[in-house]
Structure formats: structure tokens, C-alpha cells
Amino acid sequence: MSESAAIAAELRARIMAAPEVILEDRDLMRALISANERAMGANIVDLRGIAMERLEARLDRLEDTHRSVIAAAYENLAGTNQIHRAILKLLEPLGFEEFLTCIATDVAQILRVDSIRLVLESAQSGEVAALGRFGAILAVTEPGFIEAYMRGGRPAPMRPVVLRPVQRELAALHGERADWIASEALLRLDLGAGRMAGMLVMGSEDPEQFRPSHGTDLLTFFAGVFERAMRRWLG
């Protein structure tokens, strides 16, 4: 027996011992089918081969969908953990000034935002003066400002959470970082009966971080916890 014949015999023995190896190898199966089609000639259509190609295409699409679903699930889980960590940190402060400092530092870092600002509406000049020392994190505005800011000049229905690219004419709310902020999340706050509206503004230098197409469930939940925490400090 020649050397090539010995190799062929050895290969044949290995295939006979584990034929599933060939069946599980797509490239090898495709090569075998192509060889079979060539052997049959050009006048014969192999319907089995066509069916297999279609099944492979469907399998590829299913695998892509499967990977997308898994990636989305991991991303959602990571986002949920992030919000939970921010909420736990939010509940730690024992005073209002410490609460505002926590928002500007720990909460901003956990949520990975480059700018965060709390906006309160007030019709009383005394409140504006009293809260002026917190200007780096807290902005006190006239009544109606929050609704106008969240609408952004559009007659759209009011939503509790708005995600959008930053509008340059409205970017001043982000303070010193306004020139670099590219997207923002606006969380409307219900501070209780008899109190005016509030808003939490988060800004990011990443234009993709807050997009209108993103889900808002987690941020809506965070806003609900945040507004309840705020009520403790409001007279």
C-alpha cells in the first residue's frame, strides 16, 4: 500500500469512527454538497442543497437575533444595577446640603454623567436668595420654566422623562460644561401637593448616551425615588 493510500485509509477510518464531525462542520458539508452538484452535471437541480442553503440562512438570522437578545438583556441588567446603586447612595445623606453634594458627586459618577443639575421653580424671591449658595448643583427658576424647557419649543405632550440631543440655545443650564454636553436626560419631579414642579437634568458628552429611541423605564423609576427623597427636605 502506497503512502497516499495509507493516509486515505487512516482518514477514512477516522471519519467512519466519528461521522458527526463532518456533519457539524458547515464549511466541509458545503464543500461536499458542491462536489455532489458538480458530479450531477448542470442539467440537474439539487433541491436538497437549495433547502439546506435556506435553512442555513434562517439559522444565521436566528443566531444573530439570539446574540442581540442576550446583549440587550445584559445591558438592561447592567442598567438596573446602576440605577439601584445610585438610589442606595441617594438615601444615605442626613442633611440637604449633603444630599445635594451626593447628587453632584457620587450619583453623577455612578450614573456616568458629565453634568447633573436640580431645577426647582419658585415664585418667591426669598427662596431664590436662600438657595443661591447651592448654585453649582441647584437652579431656582420662574414658574413655567421646566415645562418650557422639557418641551424645547415643540407643542409635544408632556412626558415624565425626555431624552434628546442638547439644544444649544438651552444648553446654559449645564453651566460651565455646557459647550461639551451633547445629550441630556430631563426627569420631571412631582414634589408633592402645593409645591411647584422640579426637574433633574443629566448631561453627557456622549451624543449616544441619551437618545429619544432609548427606553425610559429605569429613569422613570429613579425619578420616582428621587422626588420622594426630595420631599424630606422641602418645607
Question: For position 168, what pLDDT does the model report?
Answer: 74
For 71, counting Cβ atoms within 10 Å of its Cβ (0-12 exposed, 13-18 middle, 19+ buried), the class is exposed
Mean residue pLDDT across the chain: 79
Task: Domain ranges for the chain, please list them.
Answer: 3-63, 85-230
pLDDT classification of 45: cutoffs 50, 70, 90: low
- Residue 92: pLDDT over 60: yes
Indicate the range of 27-31, 120-124, 205-209, 217-221 predicted with least confidence. Answer: 27-31
Considering the domain delimited by 85-230, tell me its CATH architecture: 2-Layer Sandwich (3.30)
CA atoms within 13 A on the CB side of 197: 17
Greater model confidence, 196 or 208: 208
Dihedral sign (CA 89, 140, 137, 209): positive
pLDDT for residue 154 is more than 90:
no
